[in-house]
Amino acid sequence: MPVVDRQEWDVVVVGAGGAGLRAAVEARERGARTAVICKSLFGKAHTVMAEGGIAAAMGNVNAGDNWQVHFRDTMRGGKFLNQWRMAELHAQEAPQRVWELETWGALFDRTKDGRISQRNFGGHEYPRLAHVGDRTGLELIRTLQQKIVALQQEDFRETGDYESRLKVFQECTVTRVLKDGDQVSGVFGYERESGRFFVLEAPAVVIATGGIGKSFKVTSNSWEYTGDGHALALLAGAPLLNMEFVQFHPTGMVWPPSVKGILVTESVRGDGGVLRNSEGKRFMFDYIPDVFKEKYAESEEEGDRWYDDPDHNRRPPELLPRDEVARAINAEVKAGRGSPHGGVFLDVSTRMPAEVIKRRLPSMYHQFKELADVDITAEPMEVGPTCHYVMGGIAVDSDSAAARGVPGLFAAGEVAGGMHGSNRLGGNSLSDLLVFGRRAGWHAAEYASGAGAARPRVDDAQVDSAAAEALRPFSAESEEPDDGPPENPYTLHQELQQTMNDLVGIIRREHEMERALEKLAELRARARRAGVEGHRQFNPGWHLALDLRNMLLVSECVARAALERTESRGGHTREDHAAMDRAWRNVNLLCALADPADGLTDGDPVRGRIALTRETTEPIRPDLLALFEKEELVKYLAEEELYE
Amino acid sequence: MSSYEARFKVWRGDVRGGGLEDFAVEVNDGEVVLDIIHRLQATQAPDLAVRWNCKAGKCGSCSAEINGRPRLLCMTRMSVFERDETITVTPLRAFPVIRDLVTDVGFNYAKARQVPAFVPPEGVGPGEYRMMQEDVDRSQEFRKCIECFLCQDTCHVVRDHEENKQAFAGPRFLMRVAELDMHPLDAAEESGLDRKRAAQDEHGLGYCNITKCCTEVCPEGIRITDNALIPLKERAVDRKYDPLVWLGNRIRRRT
């Protein structure tokens, strides 16, 4: 086996987006020597693509806002499936996390009296999103990046070494979490640049790898979103929660084909943009579900008045939660009222002056002008649903972000499950990263310092088998020649994306998901023969071959859980079970490896690798339930839950 | 509007050397150069190395040179070229090649570390920051930077002068100094740090002779030269030679 470089750290953070960097800052400030592993260059993570803002009930624009209102909105958006303690902590702590960014140098857009401005967004009762034009994610990542540099400068002054207490490993991928007995002992990974393997030994590992969108064909997600952290946790023995809930953002670009799926920010609607079908009708008024009837405008006139007088009018239905808007667009297109390229029209050009559009939505103006030759100040955009976010993820303890069942493993951000229930509200992602990134870093540091002298040991056999697994794509041709010819990883990836898009997409049907599972079994078998040419130095074919393992595992979780849940709720819509069912309200679906001993091998490709279990959720704490009207609760909660 | 076959020359090689390789490849409606590079990977050259991430012009990863001009691969549409034109894609010239289109941009991260961070004002707690929009506008323009490093690549101070890299931070990081210097609440001065002087003395502002090449290649349209570098030069000069400023500083320091 090749020689593998080893280093010792206290906390290893896998992922360098908003959650990972916030966790790293916290762990380092609490005294842990912290390593951050970054799949791309430092500062390029998918968080840069977040546009609209950070939801935090600071009450700067409407003083009526507070954490209780934010909590209510979050639970409604998630259709009450949220891990309520997470939603509570999130709503309470988000303002502190935003203000803290200012002390690290962030520059948000301002209100007239010099405070942080806040904008309207779908599902949020008050203007709540702290923002910087439509590039809030960039501001967030840059601020955290610069905070990390600031800490490194401090360390340099004290120790003469920038990286003595906090180091960023750029362009590295982790393929295994290593364990000593049931405890975490470190990670195994490779440098993309050189292909060299390395082991970071650490008692605590924080997973913050983001989402899974690259398993779908039409997605707003970047190449990094291959479900790495979800798979790492599964393989390490931690269960995933509610993987059936995948958010399709209602507004992605639909033309030209090469940019299909790229996000069109919800701010377009928050700032006044409207959706129209090919007949010019604002169709969203026809799609307000019963649970939201009292909260949304009945007429265009009322909706339009709301922007200036929100206290006496109700919001327009374009600002319903994302799952509702995505389904409505899907239905309009299916009914033959779509735009020329299979979407609907999103228009700001008739709603505000060109100058205002360019100031408030600069990236959108730029994006459409550059990529589609569309001037959004003069004509409508064409938009349609795009795979955007996974609500499901690693099952965690709400307060500590500790993964269930694996001591020393923590998870934060999109890769963690529970916070958003069945559907995430726009703006709640960036605040989630900050709130739970900090908590994960804090508890990982605490756990690591408790480990003390008895640091878990890295097992050589695990390192050897991880190295063998990573090298297998180079020997695909020589191994198991009877199985079939070597497979092109790019072809396998395209087939996987098409399968998930067509068969486990925005509207789901039982027989299609069964077909998806068969196809996934076939792809799993073929993926064992995924072969690559060339050598290990910056070889994208090899990287993709390794990422395929993760995408296939995660896709199976999504398909199995989606088949199991016979209702429609949030980011899970079944044509054959079209209604939300109160009996499912308190049911979590957990995915785990079918054969836990199978952790370090590939197992039998045909049998399927994931086993599902059902679990009843903890009852919502009475003082939190009391924040809602009884009439609203009866729409969501089962009879027995109401009278407990 | 239809598919056609385009001719590409793509630099392939590594630190030991390399050269341009010819490809003929399909191009469809609305595609950008990065789509074509991806098609080459999927069909002809699976190990062709390229950096990319968001494919939407927001992360600044896919910087390279197209027909000699520094650009983002994901924001360069194929429709800007003639169909019979041969398109040449090469790695950023100012940085060492790792493999194919991927270069070692470590220079930029080293320079980033040399710019002292934002200094929070004393006695102003989280939630108490008050700044007017017109006072943050200027720094906000610089914070649009996606760190694609095209400006660092094109700047003639380092493009063909490796020897200047030690002393010169490059447009991106001089702009970072300007951003902090114009931040309404940055308390560097109170802490004894003169950002203007540091720009001149430590980050090589004097090397810049305002040819505006950086502004021309910026995919975010940031007016680096006019809004960051020239004002910074003016302020640095004031600081250096203006006897009144000098005297004022002496007096203030004594109190």
- Fold adopted by B4-103: Ubiquitin-like (UB roll) (3.10.20)
Q: What are phi and psi of A252, to 5 degrees?
A: -110, 160
Alpha-carbon distance of A604 to A508, in angstroms, equals: 27
Instruction: Report the residue count for chain A.
Output: 644
ipTM of the complex: 0.93
Residue type for position A489: P
Note the pLDDT of residue A600: 41
H or E element, residue A276: strand A274-276
B60–A102 C-beta distance less than 8 A: no
Residue A453's alpha-carbon distances to A33, A449, A457, in angstroms, are 15, 9, 11
- In tens, the pLDDT along B44-87 reads 999 999 999 989 899 999 999 999 999 999 999 999 999 999 99
* Coil/strand/helix, residue A162: coil
Alpha-carbon distance of A360 to A346, in angstroms, equals: 16
Alpha-carbon distance of B118 to A147, in angstroms, equals: 9
A256–B31 C-beta distance less than 8 A: yes
Q: Which of A48, A113, A490 is opposite residue B46, by nearest beta carbon?
A: A490
Torsion angle of the four alpha carbons A239, A491, A541, A496, in this order, in degrees rounded to the nearest 10: -10
Per DSSP, the residues of chain B read ---EEEEEEEEEEETTEEEEEEEEEEE-TT-BHHHHHHHHHHHT-TT-----S-SSSSS---EEEETTEEEEGGG-BGGGS-TTPEEEEE--TTS-EEETTEE--HHHHHHHHHSPPP-PPTT--TT-----HHHHHHHHHHHT-----HHHHH-HHHHT-GGGTTT---HHHHHHHHHHHH-TT--TGGGT--HHHHHHHTS-GGG-----HHHHH-TT---IIIIIIHHHHHHHHHHHH-HHHHHHHHHHHH-
Shortest CA distance from B186: residue in chain A:
A105
Shortest CA distance from A492: residue in chain B:
B42
Say whether residue A160 is in contact with chain B using an 8 A CB cutoff. no
For A:188-217, CB contacts with B below 8 A are 193
User: What's the DSSP call for residue A382?
Assistant: E
pLDDT at B116 over 60: yes
Q: Which of A115, A372, A541 is opposite residue B130, by nearest beta carbon?
A: A115
B117–A43 C-beta distance less than 8 A: no
User: In the numeric block, which tokens belong to residue A521?
Assistant: 């079994």
**Mean pLDDT along residues B238-251:** 61
The set of residues, in sequence order, having a beta carbon less than 8 Å from that of B240 and lying 6+ positions away, is: B197, B200
Alpha helices in A258-377 (DSSP H): 267-270, 300-306, 322-334, 354-360, 362-372
A222–B53 C-beta distance less than 8 A: yes
Residues of A in contact with B143 (CB under 8 A): 107, 132, 138-139, 142
Nearest to B195 by CA among B236, B223, B230: B236
Note the pLDDT of residue A340: 94
Preferred mutation among B12, B27, B52, B54 to probe A, highest tally of A CBs within 10 A: B54
Let me know: does A314 contact A296? Beta carbons within 8 Å.
yes
- Between vectors from CA A11 to CA A5 and to CA A17, what angle results, nearest 5°? 95
Q: Which sequence spans correspond to the domains of chain B? A: 4-103, 106-254
B50–A49 C-beta distance less than 8 A: no
Let me know: does A441 contact A20? Beta carbons within 8 Å.
no
Shortest CA distance from A534: residue in chain B:
B47
H or E element, residue A103: helix A84-103
B209 vs chain A: nearest CA distance in angstroms? 28
Residues of A in contact with B60 (CB under 8 A): 44
The set of residues, in sequence order, having a beta carbon less than 8 Å from that of A36 and lying 6+ positions away, is: A12, A13, A15, A16, A20, A21, A24, A148, A166, A167, A168, A169
A644 vs chain B: nearest CA distance in angstroms? 40
The catalytically annotated residue of A322, A439, A528, A549 is: A322
Alpha-carbon distance of A224 to A228, in angstroms, equals: 9
Q: Which of A43, A96, A491 is opposite residue B126, by nearest beta carbon?
A: A96
Alpha-carbon distance of A551 to A223, in angstroms, equals: 12
User: What's the DSSP call for residue A456?
Assistant: P
Q: For chain B, what is the mean pLDDT?
A: 93
Burial (0-12, 13-18, 19+ Cβ within 10 Å), A307: middle
- In tens, the pLDDT along B136-188 reads 999 999 999 999 999 999 999 999 899 999 999 999 999 999 999 999 999 99
The set of residues, in sequence order, having a beta carbon less than 8 Å from that of A505 and lying 6+ positions away, is: A216, A248, A387
Alpha-carbon distance of A99 to A108, in angstroms, equals: 10
H or E element, residue A169: strand A166-169
User: What's the DSSP call for residue A251?
Assistant: E
Interface contacts (A, B; CB < 8 Å): 175
Angle formed by the axes of helices A489-503 and B33-43, nearest 10°: 110
Note the pLDDT of residue A598: 56
Nearest to A15 by CA among A235, A231, A174: A174
Torsion angle of the four alpha carbons A136, A140, A146, A147, in this order, in degrees rounded to the nearest 10: 150
Residues of B in contact with A223 (CB under 8 A): 52-53, 55
A47 vs chain B: nearest CA distance in angstroms? 9
Shortest CA distance from A224: residue in chain B:
B53
CATH for B106-254, among 1.10.1060.10, 3.20.20.20, 2.40.128.50, 3.40.710.10? 1.10.1060.10
Instruction: Report the residue count for chain B.
Output: 255
Q: Which long-range contacts (CB under 8 A, 24 or more apart) does A108-111 make?
A: A108/A132, A108/A139, A109/A133, A109/B133, A109/B140, A110/B131, A110/B132, A110/B133, A110/B136, A111/A60, A111/A61
- DSSP strand pairing (A587-593 vs A393-394): unpaired
Note the pLDDT of residue B136: 97
Let me know: does B183 contact A107? Beta carbons within 8 Å.
yes
Alpha-carbon distance of A631 to A627, in angstroms, equals: 12
Let me know: does A49 contact A114? Beta carbons within 8 Å.
no
Note the pLDDT of residue A454: 81
SS (H, E, C) A187-249: EEEEECCCCCEEEEECCEEEECCCCCHHHCCCECCCCCCCCHHHHHHHHHCCCEECCCCEEEE
Q: Is residue A110 among the annotated active site residues?
A: no
Q: Which of A99, A489, A538 is opposite residue B99, by nearest beta carbon?
A: A538
Alpha-carbon distance of B139 to B80, in angstroms, equals: 32
Residues of B in contact with A538 (CB under 8 A): 49, 98-100, 102
A113–B118 C-beta distance less than 8 A: no
Let me know: does A599 contact A233? Beta carbons within 8 Å.
no
The neighbouring-strand residues paired with B46 are none
Alpha-carbon distance of A137 to A143, in angstroms, equals: 10
Shortest CA distance from A145: residue in chain B:
B112
Q: Mean pLDDT, consecutive 10-residue segments, chain A of 644 residues?
A: 84 98 98 97 95 96 97 97 98 98 98 96 95 95 98 98 98 97 97 96 98 95 94 97 97 90 91 95 95 92 93 94 93 94 95 92 90 94 96 98 97 98 97 98 96 84 95 74 80 97 95 96 91 89 95 97 97 95 96 74 64 95 95 88 70
Let me know if the fold of B4-103 is the same as that of B106-254: no
H or E element, residue A157: helix A136-159
Let me know: does A437 contact A205? Beta carbons within 8 Å.
no
Let me know: does B2 contact B29? Beta carbons within 8 Å.
yes
Residue type for position A184: V
B21 vs chain A: nearest CA distance in angstroms? 16
Domains and CATH numbers, chain A: 5-53+67-95+136-247+389-460 (3.50.50.60), 253-386 (3.90.700.10), 475-616 (1.20.58.100)
H or E element, residue A119: strand A118-119
Alpha-carbon distance of A488 to A493, in angstroms, equals: 9
B140 vs chain A: nearest CA distance in angstroms? 7
A284 vs chain B: nearest CA distance in angstroms? 28
- DSSP strand pairing (A34-37 vs A166-169): parallel
User: In the numeric block, which tokens belong to residue A602?
Assistant: 């590939």
Note the pLDDT of residue A599: 46
User: What's the DSSP call for residue A380?
Assistant: P
Assess whether the previous peptide bond of A485 is cis (omega < 30° from 0). Answer: no
Per DSSP, the residues of A560-574 read HHHHH--S-BTTB-B
pLDDT: is A576 or B235 the higher one?
A: A576
Nearest to A488 by CA among A470, A498, A476: A476
CA atoms within 13 A on the CB side of A625: 15
CA atoms within 13 A on the CB side of B253: 11
A488–B53 C-beta distance less than 8 A: no
Let me know: does A609 contact A556? Beta carbons within 8 Å.
yes
